[in-house]
Structure 1
Amino acid sequence: MITNTELEYKGNLYPNHIVEFKQDNHNLYFTTENGVVLKITVLRGSVIRFRYATNYIFEPDFSYAIDEEASLGYSVLDVNENETEYTIKTARIHILVDKMTLRIQVSDLEGNIINEDELGFHWEENYEYGGNTVKMSKITQTGESFYGMGDKSTHSNLKGKRVENWVTDSYAYGKDQDPLYKAIPFFIGLNKGKAYGIFFDNSFKTHFDFAHERRNITSFWADGGEMNYYFFYGPDMSTVVGAYSNLTGTPELPPLWALGFHQSKWSYYPESNVKEIAKQFRDLQIPCDAIYLDIDYMDGFRCFTWDKNHFPDPKRMISELEAEGFKTVIMIDPGIKIDRDYWIYNEALENDYFCKRGDGPLMHGKVWPGECNFPDFTNPEVREWWAELYKEFMSDLGVHAVWNDMNEPAVMEVPSKTAPLDTRHDYDGHPCTHRKAHNVYGMQMVRATYEGVKKYVYPKRPFVITRAAYAGTQRYSSTWTGDNVATWEHLWIANVQMQRMCMSGYSFAGSDIGGFAEQPNGELFARWVQLGVFHPFCRVHSSGDHGDQEPWSFGSDITEIVKKFIEIRYQLLPYLYTMFYKYSKDHIPMIKPLVYYDQEDTQTHFRTDEFIFGDQILVCPIQEPNAQGRRMYFPKGRWYDFWTNDSVNGGKERWVTAELDKLPIYIKAGAVIPKYPIQQYIGQVEIKELILDTYFKLGVETSEVYEDAQDGYDYKKGRYSLRNFKLTGKEKSLTIQQFKDGSFITEYETLKFNFHGLPFKIGKVEVDNEEVTLKSVRPNGNNTFHIDKNFTLLHITSK
């Protein structure tokens, strides 16, 4: 065993014994004889920050990831000392700090070890760049599993894997390829039913080894910066993910149309082609809320310009599309063409807004327009300038939303695919090179875009999309998983990536449905749509190189299947909107892997396929060709088949049938699922009643429905409607209580209950303790009836 008294081992340096301790409120400082300072900050009873300095000096405390509005505070903090260690106690955990080695052990209040250092903090001086490579190694418990880490294209359980975070333009990436487009250095550990999380907030290239090199060791390290990580204790996975999401933030509610179906391609042009696509959607009555314009709408790929040959009057076109119910979404990339006749280039040049190389010349690289310079989005002055560039697009032309691509930043024809490492950045007043700023570059670009779009679509809500991201980017933008491929393997990857992104605090995400590169056949396209309508961001996008990829591109049979599932998405919009409300307000992921849903069940720890959409819908995609069904695992509880109403008990695997026009979808017993009528776009039809599909349960279940004006900010002034339904089922009766909050008055007056699985025939109905005639609630043979939306108690009993 290595002891930390050996100050150097294999080039690594280690802390030695503690010589000083001091406490400043919730900050605890431990200083070693060889100049290491450990600062432990108690943020909440179960959220602890660990920060290490060498040579007694901490770097300036600055992070793009942390949400300024994170809720912090604790009730208990006791610090004690004995001969060998310091002990720190909060209301939730115990922390031991070893006096001789500075190693850490975290346990729960019962003394169960949750997480402990192996070698703990160590470092290696970087002679080429200066600073340190900072390292941390932890003991991996027997049977421990690991989840999270953003958009990794590998098995959901990371045990035995090694990954790194360096946002990368990864065209046509494959399974297990790493790194990809996002850097989210957050993981969840699960052992013996207890979960914890670690967020390594370091924007340099970071590396994680989950018992890959040594089967009993988990380690993480960064190429520079500080060893600075946050520890979150559960013991429930939901508590860990919620605490991380609280710390790094969640987005505001989007406009409801952003949750509709979107159609994109590289590229729809000229205007006549865009109009033809729009007309086909309406003629076939396939719901769609947005059409995307890729880079070919621009004049020579210059950002914030229009090709007037293809789009002679964009304002008129956007207005005419909006009259048909289509929002227009345009792409903006970071590279600014080097062109003395281009006003944006000249303005950035004159104001010194472009990134420079180490010795002073402007950083340049080839992208779609040719040679480009790149704005330094880590400079707040540049972000303000960039935000203002959206004024014409949003205010004058009526563009509805913006899509930031290539913002890793991607650079063509160089081995690194990105900016040189000596490129300099402001980093909000903390000057650095691209080694530190690379992973946040795309985040700060889309932050600036978000601020501009928000300002100029007001009083409506902004909708922004990004490809590159760092932890916390979810506050500003939705995202997608980049340039995938039209293969069955990529359908599997998309499913795993969405579950992982939601576990990593970034729920507003989707994949390019059907695959970006290459061409799907009709079966693959249909199966991908079936999965994609159950992802928070739902967009078809393709390279266009191999043919068309619209819903009607694969023959009438596939068109009908695709239409059916897009219609299901539109029916479920109030359910999806409620999911987003709970994500935004309560930090609850919109999609839940089975391990999140039931971490006690070890069968869930390695499941990759099934997931919970929201709280009460179980989905299992078909991910193989020619499949008529598949084996599927049902988690705890009772589940109703969406198509047949047959019910099954969870806790086991079983075969389910799913021909091409079906997907295994199951509803949790006791759920009240809100639905709207099918509409071709948001706001097309007046909602005359809220449909509530209600599934019987022997016992109690609660459900929520959140509604507001679907856009704008009145909801922040209390103008929302939140209905909470408490269902209590007994052998011969069913009771539903409604609790309401908010001052928003919905346009409908009636609730339409569709009861599923009632074990008795309805004989008597009471509303608010008054018996009503069955005729007055208009029942039919399908256990469906209507009542006033303002009821507080519905009681149904058997004959």
Structure 2
Amino acid sequence: MITNTELEYKGDVFPSKIVSFTKETDSVFFYTDNDVILKVTVLRDSMIRFRYTTKGYFNTDFSYAIDKNQSHGYNELKFSEEAEHYEIRTSKVLVKIRKSDVHKTIYDLDGNVLLDEEIGFHWEESYQWGGNIVKMSLVSREGESYYGMGDKPTHFNLKGKRVENWATDQYAFHKDQEPLYKVVPFYIGLHQKTAYGVFFDNTFRTFFDFAQERRGVTSFWAEGGEMNYYFIYGPKMDEVVTTYTHLTGKPELPPLWTLGYHQCKWSYYPEAKVREITSKFRELQIPCDAIYLDIDYMEGFRCFTWNKEYFPDPKKMVSDLTEEGFKTVVIIDPGIKIDKNYWVYNEAVANDYFCKRADGPYMKGKVWPGECNFPDYTNPEVREWWAGLFKELIGEIGVKGVWNDMNEPAVMEVPGKTFPMDVRHDYDGNPCSHRKAHNIYGTQMARATYEGVKRFAYPKRPFIITRSAYSGAQRYTSSWTGDNVASWEHLWIANIQMQRMSISGMGFTGSDIGGFAEQPSGELYARWIQLGVFHPFCRTHSSGDHGDQEPWSFDDEVVHITRKFVSLRYQLLPYLYTMFWQYINDAVPMLKPLVYFDQEDPQTHYRTDEFIFGDQILVCPILEPNSQGRRMYIPSGNWYNYWTDEVVSGKKEIWVATDYDQIPLFVKEGAIVPKYPIQQYVGEKEITEVTLEVYFKIGKERSFLYEDAQDGYDYNKGRFSLLSFTLSGKENQLVIQQFKEGKFETTYANFRINLHGLPFKVKSIYVDNERRDLSKIAFDGTSLVIEKEFTEIHIIGE
């Protein structure tokens, strides 16, 4: 019998009725009479995996995205059979699976629908490639919103959008262009103030349609592989993001210097030019921690070589730069030049490490060095070899970081801009074609690079940055958003991309400040710097084709603004480092879009510009030229204007006037924000005093300060300092309590405490129940100096 649904989807096949089931410890298998098997696995009370096969058996269960160290476990798992359906219940959700056609509906325990299938799972035989095109169609409800999906250059709320996941070199991409460099097939749904997540772990080319083609339907599909997805229940968006990030993994803590300002261009050479650039930063007192070398540092663009004409003594240069506080970061691409006089090429050929076409020969493609072969990073033996290649760069010359580019993989002069689809990959013992391996190629390259840099940088921590990535890449690498454009539209795009990446599990991300392609005006560059210093990764990068893009390439006012905002970032390094600590320990995103911050407020659901930096700083960039301010939305709570200390109450849109050297910045009331003194690079000064900016609040607020040796691995042995501050304010008093964890002893003995918004005149100050002479703690009415080891400060008003 042909159903109406099948008439609408000619060529598509659907599961038939369930004829049997089997149970395992945490899984239930459902078998249909047309060989479909649905495996439902409860990983946590709030996370359930759904895996389908259409051939009566499953292939090996293998994923590059899933963190093998993630923890599973649930409080409750009950399975029951009813007349028309089966039920799987945890302490958080209820799944009903219809016997007649495997239709699924997921409810919360109050009976509210969280996820309902429209026609659910269906598939189409791919006669061209073999295997199935697998599809899932879900009900999209009125008022439902969608977020996530990685680096998509489109409106933050994806309702009404269709996106494609196929890692692609998109030079000078534009708004709404698909696809881009990264593949993060994870989205967050929000309906009636309840959030859930879906992660479709399939590395083939995938598509997501968020009610664009059909208003009431959200669907996702892949050109091969399995229908294999994870459902994550909130109900809060932060719970969804945290669970997904734990699932796909978190990085180790980066060295503190990587959070400083970085300068890059295609290309700084010869050595004299590099030294000129670094000297100018120090002369102008613009803090900077890293200088990048693009492909021109190599001999004929051959990876792991140096052009001795441009860089006659790279070890000395790198050493000299290190003495001046600059860490050298170099680019490494995947294309290995076909050259019998090139040692890297010869090693790879001798060991058969290059990717091959289906009928045997090495895959050949043109990139910067000319004709190249490409290592198969999905082979663990190749990754081990690749890691060993970094011995000279990292272990001997002293390079501090590696930048992986062109790893989508990008190939020139071919229509698809990448490998042919018949290229074969090892895929860690699960051989496949490039159709399956394409989207994870860049991640596996970054993984191999990470393993090499970590090996030879030890006992210091590694720093890797990649252009292409798949879910889970954050375990190995930071990233940037690729070849953007010097335009106001791209400033808007960069702001959205950073927020989207942050809630997509990839926190350590930034954009090319000022734009890679074309030349920004001084005003655009200044506005981009003002935004970029509030992104986790902060780097100016340009193609150099249209002129220089160092801060001094513009006028003195731009130099002033750059110095002011980069210096502010360096002051906020302890705050930023604490954000990273929360990210790597608790999977909390470093940038929080307003909808993440307050999903209960429907006004936040379509906001694109404002975001929370860490937990307590509200940032709203200026995104238009000739602006003397802008309208912005203040979320729930009370917020101090950073520049004026004026307090604004939230849940409303306001006009904020700003000067050219400002953007709207607000601090959450009750916040205690730590600041270091301005340094020209991390480690330039021994920190002798840390400032705490204290913003008064009637009520309670917690803040944190994480510190360690700023590099190395002693923090894993308990040698860290985690201070938690509790602020309690009343009409005529303020109490600050401090609790410390960890064995690390910081270099400073005192805190300078700056008080903002006190509603009373101070009469007396007690430290650990001892009244202090106000002159001896240098109290001037708004500021005091106190020893670091206090337990409680009690400030009493008249």
Q: Normalising by structure 2, what TM-score?
A: 0.99
Question: Is the Cα contact below 8 Å between 1:23 and 1:29 reproduced in 2?
Answer: yes
How do 1:217-616 residues align onto structure 2 when only pairs under 5 Å count? 217-616=217-616
Mind listing any 5+ residue stretches in structure 2 that lack a counterpart?
Answer: none
Could you report, residue by residue, the CA deviation over 1:610-666 in whole angstroms, capped at 9, with x for unpaired residues? Answer: 000000000000000000010000000000011010010000000001221011000
Deviation digits for residues 409-442 of structure 1 (CA, Å, limit 9, x no counterpart): 1000111000000000000000000000000000
In structure 2, what is the Cα distance between the partners aligned to 1:795 and 1:700? 14
Q: Residue 3 of structure 1: CA displacement?
A: 4.9
Cα distance in 2 for residues equivalent to 1:16 and 1:299: 61
How far apart in 1 are the matches of 2:615 and 2:17?
A: 49
- The alpha-carbon deviation at position 772 of structure 1 amounts to 1.4
Deviation of 1:2 (Å)? 8.6
Cα pair 1:260 1:682 within 8 Å, conserved? yes
Q: Which amino acid aligns with 1:320?
A: D
Pairwise mapping of residues 112-131 of structure 1 onto structure 2 (< 5 A)?
Answer: 112-131=112-131
2: distance between equivalents of 1:649 and 1:349?
A: 66
Q: Which residue of 2 aligns with 1:665?
A: 665
Q: Measure the CA separation in 2 of the matches of 1:9 and 1:753.
A: 67
Retained in 2: the 8 A contact 1:671–1:694?
Answer: yes
For normalisation by structure 1, the TM-score amounts to 0.99
Does structure 2 conserve the Cα–Cα contact (< 8 Å) formed by 1:365 and 1:372? Answer: yes
Amino acid at match of 2:236: D
1:110 corresponds in structure 2 to 110
- Matches of 2:135 and 2:366, distance apart in 1: 35
> Deviations for 1:48-102, whole angstroms, at most 9, x for unmatched residues?
0000011211121000000011121001001111110001110101110010010
Q: 1:739 maps to which residue?
A: 739
Determine the C-alpha separation between the residues in 1 that align with 2:142 and 2:103.
Answer: 20
Question: Aligned letter for 1:337?
Answer: K
Spell out, residue by residue over 1:98-146, the C-alpha distance to the aligned partner (whole angstroms, 9 max, x if none): 1001011001010000001111110000001110000000001110000
Question: Counterparts of 1:612 and 1:209 in 2: how far apart (Å)?
Answer: 28
CA contact (8 A) 1:621 1:664 kept: yes
Contact map agreement 2:582 2:588 (CA 8 A) in 1: yes
CA distance in 2, matches of 1:171, 1:657: 36
**Contact 1:673/1:693 (8 A) holds in 2:** yes
Give runs of aligned pairs for residues 571-720 of structure 1, distance below 5 A. 571-720=571-720
2:605 partner SS: helix
Q: Which residue pairs with 1:133 in the alignment? A: 133
Post-superposition Cα deviations, 1:675-705, rounded to whole Å, max 9, x if no partner, equal 0000000000111111100000111100000
- State the partner residue of 2:786: 787
Mapped partners of 2:539, 2:617: distance in 1? 21
2:28 is equivalent to residue 34 of structure 1: no
Shift of 1:776: 2.1
Question: 2:483 aligns to what SS in structure 1?
Answer: coil
**For 1:491 and 1:585, how far apart are their aligned partners in 2?**
31
In the superposition, relative to structure 1, how do residues 692 and 2 fare at CA in structure 2: closer, same or farther (>3 Å)? farther
Q: How does 1:718-737 map to 2 (within 5 A)?
A: 718-737=718-737
Residue in structure 1 matched with residue 172 of structure 2 by the alignment:
172
Q: Residue 2 and residue 181 in structure 1: after superposition, are their counterparts in 2 closer, same or farther (change >3 A)?
A: farther
Displacement of 1:484 in angstroms is 0.2
Percent of matched pairs sharing the same residue: 65
Q: Which residue of 2 aligns with 1:798?
A: 797
Contact 1:8 1:14 in 2 (8 A): no
- Per-residue CA deviations over 1:429-461 (Å, capped at 9, x if unaligned) read 000000000000000000000000000000000
Question: Match of 1:589, as an amino acid?
Answer: P
CA–CA distance in structure 2, aligned partners of residues 673 and 316 of structure 1: 40
| CA displacement at 1:769 relative to structure 2 | 1.4
Cα deviation for residue 557 of structure 1 reads 1.2
Question: Match for 1:728: what amino acid?
Answer: S
Indicate the SS of the match to 1:673: strand
The whole-number CA distance in structure 2 between the counterparts of 1:216 and 1:498 is 29
Q: Deviations over 1:314-341 (max 9, x none)?
A: 0000000000000000000000001111
Q: Secondary structure at the match of 1:429?
A: coil
Once residues 79 and 732 of structure 1 are traced to their aligned partners in structure 2, the CA distance between those partners, rounded to angstroms, is 58
Does the 8 Å CA contact 2:153/2:174 hold for their aligned counterparts? yes
- Which amino acid letter does the alignment assign opposite residue 123 of structure 2? W
Aligned partners of 1:7 and 1:13 also within 8 Å:
no
In the alignment, structure 1 residue 17 sits paired with structure 2 residue 13: no
> What letter corresponds to residue 47 of structure 1 in structure 2?
M
Separation (CA, whole Å) in 1 of partners of 2:5 and 2:328: 64
Show structure 1 runs of 5+ residues with no match. none
Q: Distance in 1 between matches of 2:312 and 2:5?
A: 74
Matches of 2:6 and 2:570 in 1, distance apart? 64
SS of residue in 1 equivalent to 2:551: coil
In the alignment, what sits opposite 1:195? Answer: 195
Counterparts of 1:556 and 1:464 in 2: how far apart (Å)? 33
Compute the RMSD of aligned alpha carbons: 1.1
Given that residues 767 and 791 in structure 1 are in contact (C-alpha distance below 8 angstroms), is that contact kept between their aligned partners in structure 2?
yes
What is the number of residues matched between the two proteins? 798
Aligned equivalents of 1:634 and 1:723: distance in 2?
29
Does residue 142 of structure 1 match 2:142? yes
Alpha-carbon distance in 2 for matches of 1:332, 1:472: 21
Deviations 1:139-177 (A, max 9, x none): 011100000000000000000000010000000000000
4+ residue stretches of structure 1 with deviation over 3 A? Answer: 1-9
Contact 2:6 2:12 in 1 (8 A): no
Counterpart residue identity of residue 555, structure 1: D
CA–CA distance in 2 between the matches of 1:305 and 1:68? 35
